[in-house]
Each structure stands twice: as C-alpha cells, then as structure tokens.
Structure 1
Amino acid sequence: MAKNKKSRGKRFRLLIYERMWKRWALPSVLIIPASIALWWVAPHLGVSHSLHRALAFVPACIASFILFFTFMARRLAWVQCRRTHLRVQAPIFSVAISYGRIKEALPTVFHEIFDPRQEKAARRNWLGLYWNKTTILVRLTDYPVNKMWLRLWLSPYLLSPDTPGLVLLVEDWMALSRQIDDYRSAWEARYTKRRQETPPRRLG
C-alpha cells in the first residue's frame, strides 16, 4: 500500500471542466421542464400525433445528457503524477506523458497563453474567472499522439496553442508544480542509474 501511494501523486482537478458544468447547468435545467411543457400543450397547438408529440422530449433528452456529462466531467477530469509519466485524464479520454518528453514545467498566467482579445465574447466571459489565474505550462518535446487527435478529445484550453505543451489549470498550482519536479527528478535519477549499470555492447 505504501509503495502504491509513493508511486502516485495527488490528483488535481482540472478547473476548465469545472467551468463547463457552471456554463451548461442552468440552460440544461431550464430546457428540461420547457420540453415537458411543450409536450403537454402540443394537443392544444394542433399536434395530436403521438410521434410528433414525442419529439418534444428530444431537447429534454439532449439537455439531460449534457447535464449528466458536465456534472461527471468535473469529477472525472484530473492530472496526476505517476512513477514513469504524467497522467492527464479527461472525462472520456486519457493521455500519458513520459517524463522524458517534458522539457520544463513553469507557472504562467492563463491570459499569457491564451489571449482574451482573440476569443469570442461568449468564451471570453465564460473564462473570466481564469484569465488572471496562474497555471502550469508543461513544455514538451512533442505530443505522444497527433495533436489533432488530442484536440478531438481534450478541451482546447488544455493544449498550448503555439508549441507542444499542456496547460494545467488547477486550484493548487504550487503543489502540482512541486510534484511534477519531484517525480521527474526521481525518474531522471532512475534512468541515469540504469544507463550506468547497463554494460556497453561489444562490437564484432
């Protein structure tokens, strides 16, 4: 048990997914009763066919799915240091970043990575709480998989816009920064030791 705890760091929730819940919760909650009301009054509007009336529930089903997904997303999205890699967990996708790919991890203000002036008004307001927050920018030599594939499954605000890297917006950025440094240093020490202990290959 002690070994398992040592091989894994603390899980830090990714705040960008917390914000998704706050953005979509109220609209979704309002759509559900509105759809039920539409189904109820449909006969009075001349819609008597049962199939046509049932279509009123489509927005409610979609809203319920969004509500459930965003609620679960804030609990299922986190970053954690492992013994050999940094694990980034999104709601339905995860990526493991080997410490060998990490160039550096440095604190950076969120608006210095993503320029608010280049965002649409809705997104600029949605991210209003985060523009001045400190985040951890993890610079990478390269992504473990194609960036387009990552953009398909991860929030765009998890990926550095200019160079390969991860933008980790968490509540306790100082603790995450320390853990990344500690786990990365431990990995480098083990890697160096293994190379020193491996006998050189003989030629011929």
Structure 2
Amino acid sequence: MPEYPIINGIPPARARLGARIRDLIEASICIQEDKADLTKAADQIEAITKALQAAGGARPLLLAALEDGGHLSINNPLEGPANPLAPPLSWKHIGAEKVEAEVLLGPAHEGPPGRVHGGWVAAVLDHVLGRATAAAGYPGMTASLTVDYHRGTPYAVPLTAEGRLVTRDGRKLHATAELKAGETVCASAKAILIHFAPDRFPSASTPD
C-alpha cells in the first residue's frame, strides 16, 4: 500500500480553521460594500495568509484514522472538515446496500439565482457514487458520469444524497445516485467506475 500520512482523529484546530475560512468565503460573497472597509479586510486576510504560507510545505492528502478503523481524508474537497471548499457532507448511513449523506450548500455554491450551480450538484453526486462502490467492497474511480437535472437545487436547505452500486461487470462498476430536497428529487446520476485494488488507498468509513 502506498505511504500516506495518517494521524489519529481529526485535529480540532484544523477543522475549526476550515470552518472559519468557510464562513469567511460566504461573508465575502454576501457583503454590502458600503458597510465594510474591504481594503482593510483584504490587508488583514493577506497578513494571515502569509503567516500560514510560511508554515506550508505539507502534502494536501492527510488521512485521519477513525475510531471504527476507517480513514477520513480531512482535506477532501467534498467532505474534508479542514477544507474550506467542502460544504462539507455529513454521512448519515454507509452500508453495502447504499450510502446516504446530508449536505448543506450555501450562497458560495449559487449558479442560477437561488439555486446551486450544476457543477456542484454533479460533484456531490460523483462523490456519493464513489463512496457507494467503496462501501460495497469495490473502491473505484469514475470513468463516466451522466447527470440528469430534474429541477433547480435550492441552497441553504438540507439536501440528502443517496448512492448505491447496481451491478459489477469485471472491473466496471455501475452505480446510481440521487440528490433530494426533502422528498423532491432535484438531480440523479448514473456512472461507470473502474475498480482498483482496495489496498491502493485506505478507504474512509463511518459507522451506521
């Protein structure tokens, strides 16, 4: 198995920093220019950024060992608590039959007015599809992804993403997923993933 840095548990300080930067991104998008000194704010952020850059040099992939024996990539762009780009996803169920996650997207993810950008919808579905095949025992990488957008996906409301492995044909994995607001299906996806050896990358897991 390749050597990846693994730490025990999710570092609280990293998770807090990611959350605060996530708040900053949203605040900067929704700011009213006549009510804030943007130049002063930019100077303060620049100073903090330089201080963090001075401590840089680490690889972006950092795995946290979980109590159940699985691993979580804490900088993952969809579920990593330390990554400000991540919504992040919160897993409600991970099992061999299906996986289910809750995700709360915000103004930073807006595409059409009041709706989530389709690229973010596709990213969430792709991530859930990958987790579904891994949970079924066949971790894989996406070879093709088809997304059907049934209606606009709202943001600032809890969304549920579900995924499942449908069939396996050799190394080809066929999986489906849905993104819902309440009981309304906003988008659905089907994908073909290519199975790789499970010891190539330690997969994350969350207890049911």
- For Structure 1 versus Structure 2, the TM-score category normalised by the shorter chain is under 0.3
Which is helix-richer, 1 or 2? 1
Q: What's the TM-score once normalised by structure 1's chain length?
A: 0.24
Q: What's the TM-score once normalised by structure 2's chain length?
A: 0.24
